[in-house]
Amino acid sequence: MQVGIDKIGLFTPNKYVDMVDLAHARNQDPNKFLIGIGQSEMSVADQTQDAVSMGINATMKYIDRIDKDKVGLLVLGTESGIDQSKSASLFVKTALKLKPEVRTFEVKEACFGLTAAVMIARDFVRVHPDQTAIVIGSDIARYGVNTGGEVTQGAGSVSMLIKADPKILALNDGHSAYSEDINDFWRPNASRVAMVDGKYSTQVYLDFFKKTFNDYKKQKNLETSAFDAIVYHLPFTKMGLKANRIAVEDQDQAVTENLETSFEASKQLSRRVGNIYTASLYMSLLSLLENGNLAAGSLIGLFSYGSGAMGEFYSGSLVEGYEKEIDQIKDQAMLDHRKKLTISEYEDVFNTALEDPEDGVVLESDDKEGTWYFAGTQGHVRQYKVK
Ligand code: COA
């Protein structure tokens, strides 16, 4: 029995910053951001969007096309948690009107969180083939105004339905995992912004990629040429470019061109949305499906990296007719309809969102009808509403 991704939905908030504007404001050469980092825009979450609301909005993209009664598991991976105890997934479950019998919880290991959820869901569906699982990655990457990491911020969520006989990507058996207890990126409880040693993190990411990619190929007796595409966790697109260069080292021209072309397709959404931590790898996958023109049966490698640090490489095979399950025009429209912020507007929105509103204050969303949003707290209980 094949188990894999049957549905996929992307959400990003309705505001963005243009990297050329940011470069000018920070006295940097725009090409450093556009080429050196590889980002052209970044989505900005205002105070009304958080891990819960974005996760609901991403799942709403496909919820009307699934049998909700079959959902037996809901797992949300995030490093932008909204509570130290209660799982963000419970708020999502209520908004989606899932049955009470669903098993639901939140997982954390930096940007690896959604891959952890995918693996849990894959195993769950193998044991319960008549049930399905919703997995969500939802994050706001915040480093702070005028910091080195500012250009690698972003906000958004990817939600997927994991199911037997999937319509998009069948997940293959096996994986290669590698972990080490290191300090390349973390966020202490009292801080809304991350601490990062970006250069160190880059080195560890590439080291873990080499280790897991080589080990996976060995385990499965595969050559690099067997992969039609490799998608990467993209904290910024230059990071994936560096890993892809390693993947094609010593490969002939045809393999190199193939993996370079698919990498270009996989980075398009990330270039405009920015880093969405847990969901970044799966936004790369969606971008590949929307822009890559791959044939059914294509073998796609997936490299997941979560700082701290955990790496994993696994693969999936594209299912016949996968194109019918994605909607590039709608995703493009969501990005195109975002409001461009001036740098001073962005700084105000960003700094306001670092704090929760005073208890009892009711927030309103300026997003379009049908969007779920965080409406403030009442008696310190978070309120979620749909516009
Ligand atoms: N034109 C083109 N490229 C340029 C340029 C220009 N005018 N100026 C600089 N560059 C290139 C540099 O050569 C460098 O390329 P390289 O990485 O291939 O060597 C790149 O732009 C970045 O420049 P650098 O000076 O290294 O940038 P920085 O000191 O501002 O740091 C990050 C960049 C990415 C390390 C920093 O933004 C960061 O820490 N971000 C957070 C990363 C993260 O999220 N990590 C954890 C999750 S995995």
Most distant CA pair in the chain: distance in Å? 63
The domain locations on the chain are 1-166+324-384, 168-319
Give the Cα separation of 193 and 197 in Å (integer): 13
- Token readout for 29 is 């050469």
| The ligand 1 atom nearest the CA atom of 141 | 44
Residue 265's pLDDT band (cuts 50, 70, 90): very high
Tell me what the mean pLDDT of segment 31-49 comes to: 98
Residue 270's pLDDT band (cuts 50, 70, 90): very high
- Token readout for 161 is 């339905």
Q: Residues of the chain with pLDDT > 90: what percent?
A: 100
Query: Which residues have CB under 8 Å from 344's CB, separation 6+?
Result: none
Instruction: Check if 1-166+324-384 and 168-319 are the same fold.
Output: yes
| Architecture of the CATH domain 168-319 | 3-Layer(aba) Sandwich (3.40)
Give the Cα separation of 156 and 138 in Å (integer): 6
Give the Cα separation of 159 and 58 in Å (integer): 5
- Are 135 and 159 in contact, with CB atoms under 8 Å apart? yes
Nearest to 119 by CA among 166, 162, 84: 162
- Are 269 and 331 in contact, with CB atoms under 8 Å apart? yes
> What residue type is 331 in one-letter code?
D
What residues line ligand 1, using a CB cutoff of 6 Å?
Answer: 29, 31-32, 35-37, 148-149, 151-152, 185, 196, 198-199, 201, 205, 235-236, 238, 275, 305, 307
- Give the model's pLDDT for residue 369: 96
**Residue carrying the six token digits 């892809």:** 244
- Give the model's pLDDT for residue 214: 98
Q: Which residue owns the Cα nearest ligand 1 atom 36?
A: 149
Q: Whole-prediction pTM value?
A: 0.98
- Give the model's pLDDT for residue 283: 98
Catalytic residue list contains 233: yes
> What residue type is 68 in one-letter code?
K
Q: How far is CA 262 from CA 32, 189, 280, 301, 337, in A?
A: 23, 38, 16, 11, 26
- Give the model's pLDDT for residue 109: 98
Query: Which residues have CB under 8 Å from 23's CB, separation 6+?
Result: 29, 30, 32, 33, 34
Strand order in the sheet with 15-18: 41-43, 15-18, 339-340
Nearest to 152 by CA among 282, 322, 271: 271
Residue 143's pLDDT band (cuts 50, 70, 90): very high
**Residue carrying the six token digits 């008696």:** 379
- Give the model's pLDDT for residue 216: 98
- Give the model's pLDDT for residue 250: 94
The verdict on whether residue 148 carries a ligand-binding annotation is yes
- Give the model's pLDDT for residue 52: 98
Tell me what the mean pLDDT of segment 46-66 comes to: 98
| Architecture of the CATH domain 1-166+324-384 | 3-Layer(aba) Sandwich (3.40)
Q: How far is CA 158 from CA 119, 133, 137, 149, in A?
A: 16, 14, 5, 22
Q: Which of 109, 233, 312, 325 is catalytic?
A: 233
Q: Which residue owns the Cα nearest ligand 1 atom 5?
A: 32
